[in-house]
Amino acid sequence: MRANFFLSLVVTAGALTLINATWAERLPDTPKKPVDTEYQGVTVEDPYQWLEADEDSQVKAWSDAENQQTRKYLDSFPDRAAIEKQLQDWYAKTSPSYFSLVSRPGILFMMKFQPPKQQPLLVTLASADDLKSEKVVLDPNVLDAKGTTAIDWFVPSLDGRYVAISLSKGGSEDGTLHFYETASGKALPDTIAHVQYPTAGGSAAWNSDGTGVYYTRFPRKGERPDADLNFYQQIYFHKLGTPDTEDSYSIGKDFPRIAEITLQSSRDGKYILATVANGDGGDFAHYLLGPDGKWKQITQFSDQIKLARLGRDNALYLLSRANAPRGKILRLPLQAPELNNAAEIVSTGQAVIEQIVPTQEALYVGDLLGGPSQIRRFDLNGKNETIIPIAPISAVQEMLATEDGALLFRDVSYTEPAAWFQCSQGRTEPVKTALRNTSPVSFADVEVRRAFATSKDGTKIPLNILFRKGTPRGDGQNPTLLYAYGGYGISMSPNFDFTRRLWFDRGGVYVVANIRGGGEFGEEWHKAGNLTKKQNVFDDFAAAAEYLIKQKYTRPEKLGIQGGSNGGLLMGAMITQQPDLFRAVVSSVGIYDMLRVELAPNGAFNVTEFGTVKNLEQFNALYAYSPYHHVVDGTKYPAVLMMTGANDGRVAPYHSRKMTARLLAANKSDNPILLRTSSSAGHGIGTALTERIKQLADIYVFLFAQLGMTGKPGD
């Protein structure tokens, strides 16, 4: 029998109705200021466009008032504080988590997250099994006691002596590049501003002798019009010890306005590879800087090369989806870097190739099998295939080659926290290293079931259903939370979250749907859910919900749904298309006005995923599902918790403001429509731990109340 971790939520259905009604009486009126805009001959009225002005005093006052009402509502439940305290206690008991590993001669660099510290720090180890050798290179919690400064990314020099680190504040992801000595942690005087931004990220790669770096940078004021200062990312070279005003332009003036650049060095530093994404739609071009000091374009967007890795054998390994939606691998000699010289070494098959890691003697391939992962090992010619054994229904989150030819990979499942494993050179049996997470709670009593729902057009949609062993099925009474994403080719693979213990202890069922728009079954799966085919994403999710109801896991009154960012768009579509199918919705940093999303800087990068109103067919598709434009007056909507961050550079927070205002005006149910805006966060990246815990506590208390989760079975 489990300890009673927190107070029971003593809220009857009648009491909840009273709380909801009291909330509704307190709501301030939202003025309508209609603005008409014509798109493709269609006039569209926008009553809340005025809420887009972040700095307007009326907008701030409205947002503050909504926040106050949301706080009063969530804090009215008796166990809100106890849930937050329980989460704090659990986080304090968790082991350190290690991620973003990079190998250099005799040293491993990695990010380490160790609650109750607010932000991850950068450390080094002599090896993955020598925790006592840890040295801190940079702890942003020391730089900023408030915990609002975060490490965006880091790149060590090829000899490991120095490390370049991008730092940003307040979840803004607007990064400044700093340089540190690895051994001492001493900061060098060099800094370079605006190397990283949510629109395109940022990257750097060191030259061979560690005297300087190639890095990405956005335009500075005066270099381009103000409207373009978060576009036109280019590559420059910085020599250590010199002012950044003397940095030399390298390449990028001819790249697209929405280019997103990632850099990597070969291990000997003779080559620099630039991967250039054409926005967020999944098309890439590749450029190689060789010993002659000249850049050469190797691939174009139309070539369908999705990933490139520099090998240690003077070869470039390419993941191609040309006539192979699930991927094939090509090997290209660097001496003749033209795509027509590439040889196919791993053919396409049933598995979706996602990662490639060449070592001195082997090629490791990370695959997706509809969500879960597998690893295959080949020789460098793509022969002698061997399966590396990993846990069933698990996800390989990271893979890298060490200096001695070993493979390190991070594996996680729904019921076991992440751990790093090592395959030594010449071996195929992985060994768990000392870099492993422990959980403050056990999931030994949680079962994972793989099932398939049938979408509107007959497509089979995988579901991962998690519940406590012995949970009754067949009466439709289980509170259930359904989660999905469905975009950008991003796959929803198994992950571990110990806070779900709260959910399972109250009898909850948790479900992740592998809907189209993701990459679980390759590029075809992605393309079937983007641009004018986005409605498939929403149909898939609705089918998942209907499956859970038909199989009597739950019923609409007990079903909650959750998503964020592109998954927030999914939530908006479900609210407007299927308001009777769910009882509660948690939507974080979501996109809701699909006709104006491309006007924001990062929205322009999303055109390759969503489409543009400038194209008639794409406008028709966008307008057909845009959640903001399909809220209908007089509809009884489910309970909704909208969450956004004031510093979000990926999805403008005005989407959440406008959608909330529209729902408040239209809703005829007593269910609450809540907006929670965090002043110290952005899209979620770089959010301080304290704020993350507060967000989680609000989500759980909202869902517990709405789904009638009034106690913990088994206490």
Q: Which residues are catalytic?
A: 565, 648, 683
Q: Which of 216, 241, 235 is nearest to 289 (CA)?
A: 235
Cα 83-483-262 angle, rounded to 5 deg = 105
* β-pair type (431-436, 419-423): antiparallel
**For residues 690 and 657, is the Cβ–Cβ distance under 8 A?**
no
**Which residue is listed with tokens 């030994």?**
444
Cβ(672)–Cβ(20) under 8 Å? yes
- Classify residue 10 as exposed, middle or buried by CB count within 10 Å of its CB (0-12, 13-18, 19+): exposed
Task: Classify 300 as helix, strand or coil.
Answer: coil
3-state secondary structure of 71: helix
Q: Give percent helix, percent strand, percent coil of the chain, each to the nearest 5.
A: 25, 35, 40
Q: How far is Cα 284 from Cα 434, in angstroms, rounded to an integer?
A: 37
How far does the chain reach from its first CA to its final CA, in angstroms? 6
DSSP 27: P
Q: Helix H segments across 512-565? A: 523-527, 535-550
Task: For residues 107 and 424, give the distance between their C-alpha atoms in angstroms, rounded to a whole number.
Answer: 16
Contact 102, 109 (CB under 8 A): yes
Looking at residue 560, its amino acid is G
Give the neighbor-by-neighbor strand order of the sheet with 204-206: 204-206, 212-217, 234-239, 248-251
* Residue keyed to tokens 């199989």: 551
Question: What are the structure tokens assigned to 443, written together?
Answer: 């999931």
Per the document, the length of the chain is: 715
Cβ(363)–Cβ(380) below 8 Å: yes
CB 537 within 8 Å of CB 570: yes
**CA gap 367, 353 in Å, rounded:** 4
Q: Which helix (H) or strand (E) holds 616?
A: helix 616-625
Q: Is the peptide bond before 333 cis (omega within 30 degrees of 0)?
A: no
**Taking the CB of residue 429, how many other CB atoms lie within 10 A of it?**
9
C-alpha count within 13 angstroms, C-beta hemisphere, residue 590: 35
3-state secondary structure of 131: helix
Do the Cβ atoms of 465 and 511 come closer than 8 Å?
yes
Rounded Cα gap, residues 320 and 327, in angstroms:
5
Burial 366-401 (b: 16+ CB within 10 A, else e): bbbebbbbbbbbbebebeeeeebebbebbbbbbbbb
Distance of alpha carbon 365 from alpha carbon 347, whole angstroms: 12
SS (H, E, C) 367-391: EECCCCEEEEEEECCCCCCEEECCC
Tell the burial category of 219 from Cβ atoms under 10 Å away from its Cβ (0-12, 13-18, 19+): middle
CB contact set of 29 (below 8 Å; sequence gap of 6+): none
Q: What residues contact residue 526 under an 8 Å CB cut-off, 6+ apart?
A: 282, 488, 489, 516, 517, 518, 519
Sign, Cα dihedral of 493, 495, 500, 505: positive
